[in-house]
Amino acid sequence: MIDFVEYLSDIVILPNGKVEKWWREESHNVSLNDIKEILSKISEKNIDVMIIGTGYSGMMNVSKEVIKKHKLIGIKKLIIESTKNAVEIYNDLLRKEERIIAALHLTC
């Protein structure tokens, strides 16, 4: 739940706090194109942290290409965690006023 709104499908939280639905090329995989699509929605391409929540049980896969190339596409630090942990990290970093994008898989 974000700002008293319950989300039932995967979401992205942009640096300005806007929440959008998150669709990927393959449902349980995150590709470099998926990340580039997220970054295309913001004007500032230099992100301090991108957090990817891999689901309740951590079942979603993040491609090796994303892990290898995140800095080349404007993400200084990439954190990949189960969604529960990802949300806790997001809230902590938000208090520190980091420029954050969170991409959260809400099931499995």
Q: What is the CATH number of the domain that holds 100?
A: 3.40.1230.10
94 occurs within a structural domain: yes
Domain of 49? 11-105
5 occurs within a structural domain: no
Q: How many CB atoms are closer than 10 A to CB 8? A: 7
Provide the residue-wise pLDDT of the chain in tens; the chain has 108 residues: 888 889 999 999 999 999 999 999 998 999 999 999 999 988 877 899 999 999 999 999 999 999 999 999 999 999 999 999 999 999 999 998 889 999 999 988
How many domains, in total, are found in the chain? 1
Radius of gyration of the chain (CA): 13
Tell me the pTM: 0.94
- Report how far residue 71's alpha carbon sits from residue 46's, in angstroms, rounded to the nearest whole number: 9
2 occurs within a structural domain: no
Query: CA 1 → CA 6, 8, 46, 87, distances in Å?
Result: 4, 9, 27, 11
